[in-house]
Amino acid sequence: MTTPLYALLGFVFWTIILLFAIAGARVGMVMRGEVKPTGFPAGVPHGGDAYWRLNRAHLNCVENLPIFAAVVLTAVVIGLDSSTFDNFARVFIGARIAQSLTHISSGSATAINVRFGFYLVQLVCVIWIALMCVF
């Protein structure tokens, strides 16, 4: 298996890890009697600030996973095989995890700017890989 495919699977596993963290937080809130099992309406902030940031970090992964998957799978199908492709895939997954961790850790203006920087890194990687597929 190639490095970009490992990066893609890493993105999938990271998204699942965040989902398990949300589920664990929800179970904890229900077990402590803080929230009823039906107390988690979709799209409505609930729980503490850290919980909601975790929820949004997971949704960011869900929103961006298809884009990365489409670009990586297209590159693999057309036989793109280069160290540049591998490196962009590595940088992408590192920036994705760093973005999520920054998102979860704080909602401060500084954290938001850092998180956006990590997102820009991911955009550059995806666009570059897509352009490598075309040219």
Q: Predicted confidence band at 52 (pLDDT cuts at 50, 70, 90)?
A: very high
* Residue 39: both structure tokens together: 């107390």
Report the pLDDT value the prediction gives residue 119, as an integer from 0 to 100.
Answer: 98
Q: How confident is the model at residue 6 (pLDDT cuts 50, 70, 90)?
A: very high
Which CATH number goes with the domain that contains 109? 1.20.120.550
Query: Backbone phi, then psi, for 2, in 5-degree steps?
Result: -85, 160
Inform me whether the pLDDT recorded for 21 exceeds 90.
yes
Owning domain of residue 130: 3-134
Q: Is pLDDT above 90 for 97?
A: yes
Confidence of residue 45 (pLDDT cuts 50, 70, 90): confident
Q: What is the mean pLDDT of residues 123-133?
A: 98
pLDDT at 19: 97
Mean pLDDT of 108-114: 98
Task: Quote the pTM value.
Answer: 0.94
Please choose, from the candidates 1, 3, 5, 8, the residue with its C-alpha nearest in 3D space to the C-alpha of residue 93.
8
Q: Is 115 exposed, middle or buried (0-12, 13-18, 19+ CB in 10 A)?
A: buried
The crossing angle, in degrees rounded to 10, of helices 3-31 and 83-105 is: 10
10 Å Cβ neighbour count for 88? 26
Domain count, the chain: 1
The pLDDT score that the predictor gives to residue 65 is: 98
